[in-house]
């Protein structure tokens, strides 16, 4: 309160040491809290306070990742209503432990070859995401996403005339990261809706969610990046992608002079 601390409120740090939980109850001691049924380890849930404006903006807490869930459900409904059958099996997954790091680690079917995560794209200085576009994440703190799958999504966005942006996310990782680190040998990519004030009172726009939903629908109806992934895996390595020969890898158009010639030249110059 500025009325109690004057200008000191302008110098107060922002940290967990300065977070206060105010209870609307008579409570001055630990015993008072316990008598109310409040104890160590209890969850504190924020009211999402959703607001939908005529301009198409959507503000609320927990848009990450409830808005992403809504976009996926809308894409699935569109496919079902159209009667179109995907070219290969598609497994929509909903996880609740992405924030704690496990995410999709233990729920993927064994025969999945491609994994596209859905998350939030921070709109801020230094980022390329927008509240009016869907973002294809090229990399996050877990490392780069699959080159071929990411560009497949970018092409689908262009082909369907959707507002698509590339971006890098330096300070979070998604369900795709947990899937890979748990041992799944799969290609991964990430789609995200643009959002301001992530992990706060968040705001996005219907444009971004619509673009995300349409791109998800286009992806689920598209063939796999590699046609061989549409077939069940065999015990043989016959279909495994052939790598170029070792000698060919070492070939280069740039010819490096022999080491002896360089050493001799240095001696003559000295």
Cα 65 from Cα 96, distance rounded (Å) = 9
Closest Cα partner for 154 from 166, 140, 143?
166
65: preceding bond cis by omega (within 30 degrees): yes
Please report, to the nearest 10 degrees, the dihedral formed by the alpha carbons of residues 23, 24, 29, 30 taken in order: -50
Cα 134 from Cα 208, distance rounded (Å) = 5
Instruction: Please report the beta strands in the chain, taking only residues with DSSP state E, as ranges in sequence order.
Output: 51-52, 57-60, 114-122, 134-140, 143-144, 164-168, 187-195, 202-205
Catalytic residues: 98
Give, to the nearest 10 degrees, the angle between helix 147-159 and helix 206-220. 110
């Amino acid at each position: 309160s500025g009325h109690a601390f004057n200008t000191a409120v302008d110098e107060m740090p922002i940290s967990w040491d300065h977070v206060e939980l105010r209870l609307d109850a008579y409570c001055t001691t630990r015993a008072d809290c316990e008598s109310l049924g409040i104890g160590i380890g209890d969850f504190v849930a924020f009211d999402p306070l959703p607001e939908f404006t005529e301009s198409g903006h959507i503000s609320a807490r927990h848009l990450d990742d409830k808005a992403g869930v809504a976009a996926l459900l809308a894409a699935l409904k569109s496919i079902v209503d159209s009667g179109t059958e995907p070219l290969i099996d598609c497994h929509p997954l909903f996880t609740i432990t992405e924030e704690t790091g496990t995410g999709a680690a233990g729920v993927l079917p064994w025969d999945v070859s491609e994994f596209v995560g859905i998350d939030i794209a921070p709109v801020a200085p230094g980022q390329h995401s927008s509240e009016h576009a869907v973002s294809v994440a090229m990399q996050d703190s877990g490392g780069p996403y699959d080159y071929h799958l990411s560009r497949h999504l970018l092409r689908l966005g262009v082909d369907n005339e959707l507002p698509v942006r590339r971006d890098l996310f330096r300070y979070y990782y998604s369900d795709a990261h947990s899937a890979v680190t748990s041992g799944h040998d799969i290609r991964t990519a990430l789609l995200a809706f643009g959002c301001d004030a992530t992990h706060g009172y968040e705001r996005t726009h219907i444009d971004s969610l619509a673009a995300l939903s349409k791109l998800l629908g286009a992806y689920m109806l598209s063939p796999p990046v590699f046609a061989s992934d549409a077939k069940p895996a065999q015990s043989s390595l016959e279909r495994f992608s052939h790598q170029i020969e070792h000698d060919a890898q070492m070939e280069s158009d740039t010819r490096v002079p022999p080491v002896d010639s360089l050493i001799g030249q240095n001696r003559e110059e000295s």
